[in-house]
Chains A and B, each alone.
Chain A
Amino acid sequence: MSLLAVDHVGPATSVQDGGRFGAQRYGLTPSGVMDRPALAIANALAGNAPFAAAIEIGPFGARFTVRDGCVRVALAGAAREATAAGRPCPMQTTVLLAAGESLVLGAARDGVFSYLAVEGAVCGEPVFGSLSVNALAGLGSPFPRPLRAGDVLALRDAAPLAQERRLPLAPAAQGPIRIVFGPQHEEFDAAAQELLVASEWRVSALSDRMGYRLDGPAITRAHGHDIVSDGTVTGSIQVPGSGRPIVLMPDRGTTGGYPKIATVVSADLGRVAQTRPGHAIRFRAVTIEDAQRAARHMAAHIAALANLVQTGGAAFDLAALQSANTAGVAVSAVDAATWQSPTGPDDKDQP
């Protein structure tokens, strides 16, 4: 075994994987990763399954030191300065740390969450198939709470001789966040629905892994009352009495009594999660068919990531990388639009 010690971390730093499914009927929320494609990239580099457990690092800096053995790490998601044993450690590039060496991470330069994947993945005891931290429920492994200084993670030893692996950075996706109206859009008149897509919304500082509150014009409900509670999803846009929408995130309550005017499409949830407080987002309504096409594109891209990983010291060749994409995916992970709107809504080639 190798040991990775937490020297210091900021808040909102915890072990997360794809989430804990199967007990929402008992009120247990899935938790899990805030930015799924970023976790998948970090894990592809580390040689793990796409949604294996990794360390989700909040917006502040952090420092880890290998106490014993050797650990290979890869960082993806929100870009930040990083050094490994004093050497620059670029985003989306593996680095091997030996005993006594430290990984020092600066604050996120852009975005909120970065993902530190380790070769062999974070080890622990899964509950409902997941190691994800759900502090409210006292679940998560190896620690049922966010990480803090002094924690030590026991990891599998990294293969010492493997080559460096890297994935090119994709420019940040642009454009409005896609939504599907419903399930309770009928609680709102046409003007209120139009306000949702016509307005600029700023992410409030009162945002966390349960929900992102949006500041902007108040959305008025036609009937002026709450609904009888029903189930929520990650991405539900609920409108409480204040009229300020809240986008529900992975630590949401499983049911809620506020009407949900719309739902963020799953392929764009990571972009919402990476929007910093004070920064703006806009919404664009799409059909359920378009949203599901986007979800299938996203799944195909994530499945193709392992094939896009570059190894060794050769100079990076974009053309070679794109031609190496043999998974039948029309665009590659280096395409700026990969996570946004892959090949347009009419593409019929996807599974």
Chain B
Amino acid sequence: MAPLLPDPRILPSGDTALTVEFGRTVDTAINARVLAFDRTVAAARLAGVIETVPTYRSLLVHYDPVATGFADLSAELLALARHPAPPEGSVRRWRIPVAYGGAHGIDLDSLAQRHGLTPDEVVRRHTAGDYRVTMLGFTPGYSYLSGLDPSLATPRRNDPRTETPAGTISIGGIQTGIQCIAAPSGWHLIGRTPVRTFHPHREPMFLLEPGDAVTFFAIDAAEFATSEAAAEAGAIVAERIAP
């Protein structure tokens, strides 16, 4: 019999949403519980639930307070949390090209220096990683990944940049991120991918799901330019290797 896990905490987020909190730290075991619970909630099709937003540590449940109420929905969710989650199914695996360093990753050299590594060694360790998408948020398609080599973990910059380009691959703390659209960022920019995790005029509009597995491979500037043009036109560019 599986060990009994502690109940999550249910916190009101106003009258139209509630937060199911499984923990308060960056922890892949907590994230796995969140993603499993997200599948459970989706399968249960509870009355009044509009959509859910899984994060590293919690599941935000948006609901219609005309169709259900905080107390009733909380009780239903707690009951679901005590049941085993439906099986994960086969994990989707992606290979994502990245042009590292230079104009594509302006912080690669300083990040390498900070850790006493060569830029090539940082790229080697970054491309050796087996990552999982823990959540998407902040801006459309922004994907937060766990699985970064601990030797590359780097605190946020003290001076966030007000604008960083589409496709930026960055490191912040023990996470690495795939940014889709230009946005401010306090993370360290090590490269750019031509892949668009969000494209408003492509089917599918969003490429990555929470729980997907990701690896990176290095490409050069010429390949980046060719692939980016294709991606802008709606090509997937990323390689889906499973299932």
Contact = CB atoms under 8 A, between A and B. Distances in A.
A253 B65 contact: no
Contacts of A181: 12
Interface residues of B, number: 45
B13 A183 contact: yes
A51 to B, nearest CB: 13
B50 A231 contact: no
A254 B16 contact: no
A295 B139 contact: no
A292 B65 contact: yes
Contact of B66 (A227, A228, A351): A351
B53 interface: yes
A26 B141 contact: yes
Contacts of A236: 13-14
Contact of B15 (A229, A231, A288): A288
B24 A228 contact: yes
A228 B26 contact: yes
Interface residues of A, number: 47
B62 interface: yes
A23 interface: yes
A19 B38 CA distance: 23
B140 A28 contact: yes
A133 interface: no
Contacts of B19: 182-183, 230-231
Interface stretch (B96-104, B108-116, B130-138, B219-227): B130-138
Given A26-B136, A180-B15, 15 more contacts: A21-B50, A21-B51, A25-B52, A25-B54, A27-B136, A138-B200, A182-B11, A232-B60, A233-B16, A233-B17, A254-B137, A266-B14, A291-B15, A295-B15, A351-B66
A-B complex: 8 closest residue pairs judged by Cβ atoms: A231-B60, A255-B137, A263-B14, A183-B11, A291-B15, A231-B53, A26-B206, A295-B65
13 contacts: A23-B51, A26-B206, A27-B137, A27-B142, A180-B14, A183-B21, A228-B56, A229-B55, A254-B53, A266-B16, A288-B15, A288-B70, A295-B66
